[in-house]
Amino acid sequence: MSSFIRGVFIVSLGVIAVSVFSAEREVVSVQQAWVKLAPPGAAVNAAYMRLQNQSPIAQTIIAVSADCCSQVMMHESRLEGDRVVMDHKERLEIPAQSELVLAPGGLHLMLMGAHKPLTMNDKVSFVVEFADRTQQIIVAPVKLAADE
Ligand SMILES: [Cu+2]
């Protein structure tokens, strides 16, 4: 009898653990997420998307990871003279009831250390971590260009 009770206890703990890990948020909605196909031999890929914050408080992304790659960094491209340089960003803030656009020439996610080269129509699954410790999963296809 006691082992039966223990079994029930373990099962209910499992349910709690699952619900904590899938703390899915609907606070930020993501549109037009895509990963740019890189030329053969390129070491990195960039990812772009529109992040819409429907909540009355700012949402801050503090880390991103992806299943394809060993590291994802948050970058911002800018022109320095006639060349493009990229600044590393520690966090990306999406203002309250506003949106943050990651697009070519500006903010982007930089995918580094691909386990294998990304090819057309691959799906990259990102885990985005917010400052409030919640996470959101974003799936983005590999394409040559953004949809119009
Ligand atoms: Cu970059």
* Cα of 79 from ligand 1 centre, angstroms: 13
* Cα of 106 from ligand 1 centre, angstroms: 9
pLDDT value, residue 13: 46
Report how far residue 128's alpha carbon sits from residue 79's, in angstroms, rounded to the nearest whole number: 27
Report how far residue 52's alpha carbon sits from residue 17's, in angstroms, rounded to the nearest whole number: 29
* Cα of 102 from ligand 1 centre, angstroms: 11
Q: Where are the domains of the chain?
A: 25-143
* Cα of 70 from ligand 1 centre, angstroms: 15
Kindly give the confidence (pLDDT) of every residue in the chain, 148 residues in length, as a single tens digit, with 9 standing for 90 and above.
Answer: 455 555 444 444 444 444 444 455 668 999 999 999 999 889 899 999 999 999 999 999 999 999 999 999 999 999 999 999 999 999 999 999 999 999 999 999 999 999 999 999 999 999 999 999 999 999 999 999 987 6
* Cα of 62 from ligand 1 centre, angstroms: 16
pLDDT value, residue 27: 85
pLDDT value, residue 146: 87
Q: What pTM was computed for the model?
A: 0.81
> Can you read off the two tokens belonging to residue 120?
């057309």
Determine contact, residues 111/64, Cβ cutoff 8 Å. Answer: no
* Cα of 23 from ligand 1 centre, angstroms: 29
Q: What is the dihedral of CA 41, 62, 24, 27, to 10 degrees?
A: -110
> Can you read off the two tokens belonging to residue 144?
């040559």
Report how far residue 88's alpha carbon sits from residue 90's, in angstroms, rounded to the nearest whole number: 7
pLDDT value, residue 25: 61
* Cα of 107 from ligand 1 centre, angstroms: 8
pLDDT value, residue 23: 52
To the question of domain 25-143 being in CATH 2.60.40.1890, the answer is yes
* Cα of 4 from ligand 1 centre, angstroms: 54
* Cα of 34 from ligand 1 centre, angstroms: 15
Q: Classify 5 in phi/psi space as left (phi over 0), alpha (psi -120 to 50) or beta.
A: alpha
pLDDT value, residue 10: 46
